[in-house]
Amino acid sequence: MKSNFVSLLFCIFVAGCANVNQMAIKNETKSIDVGAKSILLMPVNISRPVSSRYTPHPLAVKFEKVNASGEKESIMFQADSEVGKVESDLSNKFYMRMALEPGEYTLHTILGNANAFPFNGFFNVPLLLKVTVPQNSIIYLGKIDAILRPRKENEFRAGSVIPLIDQSVTGVSSGTFDISVIDSFDEDISEFKSKFPVLARKEIKKNILPTWEREKAQAWWQGNDKN
């Protein structure tokens, strides 16, 4: 737990975001109030094409919105122990639950860690997807499928080259992500309801994210000097 907290602090520093929120519902949650904020359900599957002891897993999800002053505001949700465990050295699924006020947002990035003693590699999954949060709702955004693979030529890096050894050994600085949004509503919602019983009798609406665009992620990476 301490290691995850330190890792999250590092990610907050990198992301420039201090507005950190907890996951919206827990296993023991008894009731849900969507009067002020709606709840977003988003499973995340992070994998590698080949087995590795440096298994990638999420630390936080970052959203952005434009505030009343016309400035971008970052909102981060910290992954907790109930998002799921790392059980495979190839592919793992995590269950994100976030509460946001109604409005227009950008689902910006998933910040994460690929680690095994003594190395820690930190990465960004650049999503950059628009999402409209409706009022008084529980919504399913679709499943994010992110494959961490070796990059080619000038493809965006999964993470910074610094610190050199950790980022290199874990395959983060030499890697990139292939990302897709998958509508697997029936399977995913069944799993959410099993893990979080408070959802069992709730209406959950589909609000599937748009198709991910590599070109947009590439432009963001280059514009932010992520070399």
Average pLDDT over residues 181-199: 98
Task: Categorize the per-residue pLDDT at 17 as very low, low, confident or very high, splitting at 50, 70 and 90.
Answer: low
157 neighbors 227 (Cβ within 8 angstroms)? yes
How far apart (Å, rounded) are the C-alpha atoms in residues 37 and 95? Answer: 19
Q: Token digits for 17?
A: 């975001």
Q: In the chain, what percentage of residues exceed pLDDT 70?
A: 91
How far apart (Å, rounded) are the C-alpha atoms in residues 45 and 43? Answer: 7
b/e string for 134-145 if b means 16 or more Cβ within 10 A? eeebbbbbbbbb
Average pLDDT over residues 44-52: 95
Mean pLDDT, rounded, of the chain: 91
Q: Which residue ranges make up each domain of the chain? A: 2-221
List the beta strands (DSSP E) in 48-168.
55-66, 72-78, 91-100, 103-116, 119-133, 138-140, 143-150
pLDDT of residue 16: 52
pLDDT in tens, 135-161: 999 999 999 999 999 999 999 999 999
pLDDT of residue 22: 95
pLDDT in tens, 120-142: 999 999 999 999 999 999 999 99
